[in-house]
Amino acid sequence: MKRLISIFALALITVSLHAQNNTTCAVIGTHYNADGELVISDPSTTLQVQITVVKEQIIVGPYAKYAQRYLDVRPSLVERTTYSVSNAKISILGEVTEPKYNDKKHTKANSYLGSDTEFARVSAERMSSSVMSIEDAAEQAAQTIFSIRRHRMELITGEAGENVFGAGLKDALKTLDEKEQEYLELFLGKKITTTSTHTYTIPLALETTEYPLARIKSQTGLQPATAADGDIVKLVLVPSATTPKLNYINEVEASSKLATAVRIANMSTCSVMVKDKIVGTTTLPIFELGRTAYILTPIKK
C-alpha cells in the first residue's frame, strides 16, 4: 500500500523532542501542524531584556556646613545625581500586549511642608518670628535633635511617667523618629533613590553572540547604544559546548528522501553586561546557536 505522510507526524516530532532531556527542537520548512494546517516554519529566537536603572540624587541640607561642628558628621556639601544599572532580566519573548490608552487626568498639589526633593518653605526649627543667623538656627536645630533623643529614651525607660504605654507609646516613638529625621535632613540632606525599568526586544541572528543595548553614563543615565560615551550595556550569549543529541530518533543524511530537517536549540548562557560586570544572567534555548539535524519522517502505511 502506498505510504502516506501523517499530517500530525511532524508536529509530534517537536513535542517528543522537547520532552526528552528538555531539548527544544522545531521542524524547518513546510509541514502540517497539529491542527492539520500547512505552515512554513523557520525556527528563531527573540529575547526580551529588562534593565533596571537606579538614579540616586543627593540634595544638600541648608545646615550642611555646620554638621561637623554640632553633630560630628560630615555630610555631602555638593549636590549630585548618579545613575547605574542594578540588575537585568532576560527571557524569551512571549505574547506582547499593547498598552491601553488611559485619558484620566492626574493633578498633583505641592505642599509647603516640603517633599522628597525639596525642604519645607519654613524650616522645622523655626519656633518664633525672631530673625536668627543661619549658624544660630543650625545650633538650635542640633539642640532639638538631642532633646528629641533624650525624650525618646525617657519614654522607653519609663522615666517620662506612666501616661504613655501600649499603642500610645508606639505612636509617640514613631512621631519622635519622624521629627528627628526631619531635623537631621537639615544637616545631612536628602538622598532620593528612583528606579526605572527599560525593556528591549532582541531578534537574534545566526552565530551572533553580542548585542549592544545601550550605554550608561553615571552623570546623565541611559543613552542609546550609538552614543559617543558611557559604558556599553550589552547582551552576551555563550553557547554550551555541545548541542543535545536526539537519543531515540535516528538521524539520517540530508539527501535521504525521508529526511525531515529540524533545528535543535543550544542551551546558552545569556548575560547582560555593563562594561565588564554581569548584572543579570540565565540559561535559555537559542535556535540561532544550535544545529540542524535530519531525521526520518514518521509515516503511516
Domain positions in the chain = 4-45+204-300, 60-81+113-123+133-193
Average pLDDT over every residue of 152-177? 75
Predicted pLDDT at 84? 95
Q: Does residue 239 have a pLDDT over 70?
A: yes
Closest CA to 192 of 78, 60, 86, 87: 60
Tell me the percentage of the chain whose pLDDT exceeds 90: 35
Q: What is 87-130 written as a DSSP string?
A: EEEEEE-----PPPP----------TT--SSS--SS-TT--SS-
> Cα angle at 192 between 189 and 117, to 5 degrees?
70
CB neighbours (10 Å) of residue 150?
12
Collect all residues with Cβ–Cβ distance below 8 Å to 171 and sequence separation of at least 6. Answer: none
Classify burial at 268, counting beta carbons within 10 Å of its beta carbon; exposed 0-12, middle 13-18, buried 19 or more.
Answer: buried
Strand pairing of 231-239 and 259-274? antiparallel
Tell me the longest C-alpha to C-alpha distance in the chain: 109
How high does pLDDT run on average in the chain?
Answer: 79
Element (H, E) at 40: strand 38-41
Predicted pLDDT at 25? 78
Element (H, E) at 35: none
Predicted pLDDT at 218? 93
Collect all residues with Cβ–Cβ distance below 8 Å to 71 and sequence separation of at least 6. Answer: 142, 145, 187
Average pLDDT over every residue of 67-89? 92
Element (H, E) at 83: strand 80-92
What are phi and psi for residue 84, nearest 5 degrees? -155, 155
The pairs formed by 72-76 with CB atoms below 8 angstroms and a separation of 24 or more are 73/187, 73/188, 75/187, 75/188, 75/189, 76/189
Model confidence over 7-23: pLDDT tens digits?
434 444 444 444 444 56
Where residue 173 falls among pLDDT bands split at 50, 70, 90? confident
Model confidence over 94-108: pLDDT tens digits?
744 444 444 554 444
Tell me the percentage of the chain whose pLDDT exceeds 70: 73
d(CA 54, CA 76): 19
Q: Does residue 194 have a pLDDT over 70?
A: yes
Rounded to two decimals, what is the model's pTM?
A: 0.70
Predicted pLDDT at 91? 93
Model confidence over 125-147: pLDDT tens digits?
666 667 788 898 899 999 999 99
Predicted pLDDT at 190? 87
CB neighbours (10 Å) of residue 296?
14
CB neighbours (10 Å) of residue 93?
13
The more confident residue out of 224 and 41 is 224
Q: Does residue 109 have a pLDDT over 50?
A: no
Q: Does residue 221 have a pLDDT over 80?
A: yes
Predicted pLDDT at 200? 95
Q: Which residue has the cell 525639596?
A: 118
